[in-house]
Amino acid sequence: MSFPRYPDYKDSGVAWLGLVPEHWIVIPLKRDIEFVTSGARGWAENYADDGDLFLRIGNLTRDSIRLDLSDTQRVVVPDGAEVDRTQVQAGDILFSITAYLGSVAVVPAGLGRAFVSQHVALVRPSKKHCLSEWLAYVAISYVGKTHLETTGYGGTKVQLSLADVTSLPIIVPPIDEQQAIATFLDRETAKIDALVAEQEKLIALLQEKRQAVISHAVTKGLDPSVPMKDSGVEWLGEVPGHWEVKRLKQLCDEPLKYGANEAAELDDPSLPRFVRITDVTESGALRDETFRSLPREIAEPFLLREGDVLLARSGGTVGKSFMYQRHWGEACFAGYLIRVRLSQRLCVPQWLNYFCRTDSYWGYVLGSQIQSTIQNVSAEKYANMFLPVPSIEEQQLVIAFLDQATSKIDDLVTEARTAITLLQERRTALISAAVTGQIDVRSIASREVA
């Protein structure tokens, strides 16, 4: 859809903003607010399931003016707390001031008693010049993001002061025009959000299909007519009758080995890369931007060979796997990883790598965790894990099938993610064009309302 422009424009007086419609003005946000404050400090120890809502940065988004309440925290207000200063009202605008700068939300009516954390700025508009929704749309446009992302101070952790927030330049049309444009943007962004949600649902379904295809092929084989047998392992179930079931340690040339307990301090590409599980992407590749290395003499006992499989042993990534290939260059591995070095006469590394993506594998991992302060699966637990093991020839047939099948699914996922990116770019461009007056949607908005 193409949109008309306003008949007359003038210089906004802001160098990077350029021209705005002739009858619009530009003012700093502080000209149209009752007050601004940062949220409550030191309330984390008062978190409770039955307390009041405690709004944090995670409840704000960079692409919407609505609160995201999919993950909420509640808190019991401490005695003597500054309740009036930190409690939100309908129409308040919330800004992130310590991370994800440019994240904004308008407090809706009917939210109930709620407070903001210290990392959120609460701005209460006077509504003399601007509607809350209009101010929020300006804040998530390129005008707002440019200001908020370039105004912050600090080194490794960029922050905004309250003065930074209130100096945000606001382009101001008449109130009735603000309402028309905000209504138009509500409608159009909702349409885009619905399309994004469809693509996200498609991605979830494709990922479920990918998991199911891998799980079936690696535990049941490719021929549905072959006789099955009980594997003797509850979490594995039936496997083809001619397959063996072996413990992982029976398929290895060497015992499973823990990695190097060293700090990841060096960034020298001439030294062996130090692989940590956080370096591994969901697709099983290594991230370039997280590269770290170890001195050669320290890395030597932990150097990886082609086909070595690494398994995460603790924390939130427990069970995650990675298969090393020499094209990544010389590499060693970190202490929270366990190296599996297979006898390739018995098991192809890709077979184990695919097995680590099956429902059976994850059932074993989840059932084997040692619950202490963090989740943990030891080398001994992994070593005693049972795997279905066909002949090398059949392993290679299944691997070839899965390489092709998962590649097709991955291509569809990539297409869906590209579509989401394009939709989000269109969303941002539409908001920015509307709130800066580069397009005139007044007639469209009024026609659609009618």
Q: Where are the domains of the chain?
A: 25-172, 244-389
CATH class for the domain made up of 244-389: alpha beta
| pLDDT string in tens for the chain (450-residue length) | 688 999 999 999 888 788 999 999 999 999 999 989 888 777 877 888 888 899 999 999 888 899 999 888 998 887 766 777 889 999 999 999 887 888 899 999 999 899 998 889 999 999 889 999 999 999 999 888 888 888 876 554 578 889 999 999 999 999 999 999 999 999 999 999 999 999 999 999 999 999 999 999 999 999 999 999 999 999 999 999 999 999 999 999 999 999 999 988 889 999 999 999 999 988 888 999 999 999 999 999 999 999 999 999 988 889 999 999 999 999 999 999 999 999 989 999 999 999 999 999 999 998 876 655 557 889 999 999 999 999 999 999 999 999 999 999 999 999 999 999 999 999 999 999 999 999 999 888 666 544
Question: Distances from the Cα of 30 to the Cαs of 105, 114, 123, 194, in angstroms?
Answer: 17, 24, 9, 34
Q: Which CATH architecture group holds 25-172? A: Alpha-Beta Complex (3.90)
CB 336 within 8 A of CB 277: yes
Structure tokens at 162: 């309250």
Structure tokens at 112: 């109930």
* 3-state SS assignment for residue 314: strand
Note the pLDDT of residue 158.
Answer: 72
* 3-state SS assignment for residue 411: helix
CB 446 within 8 A of CB 177: no
* Residue of 73, 66, 78 lying closest to 114 (CA atoms): 73
Q: Check for a shared fold between 25-172 and 244-389.
A: yes
Structure tokens at 424: 């989000």
Task: State how far Cα 297 lies from the chain centre.
Answer: 37
CA atoms of 375 and 357, how far apart (whole Å)? 19
CB 389 within 8 A of CB 249: no
Say which amino acid occupies 255: P
CA atoms of 184 and 134, how far apart (whole Å)? 11
Note the pLDDT of residue 361.
Answer: 95
Residue at token pair 């984390």: 44
Say what the pTM is.
0.84
Q: Which residues contact 189 (CB under 8 A, 6 or more apart)?
A: 64, 427, 430, 431
The values of phi and psi at residue 63, to 5°, are: -125, 10
CA atoms of 425 and 432, how far apart (whole Å)? 11
Note the pLDDT of residue 374.
Answer: 58
Which DSSP string do the residues of 326-359 spell out, in sequence order? GGG-SEEEBTTEEEE-B-TTT--HHHHHHHTTSH
In degrees, rounded to 5, the angle at the alpha carbon of residue 311 between the alpha carbons of residues 307 and 315 is: 160
CA atoms of 5 and 2, how far apart (whole Å)? 10
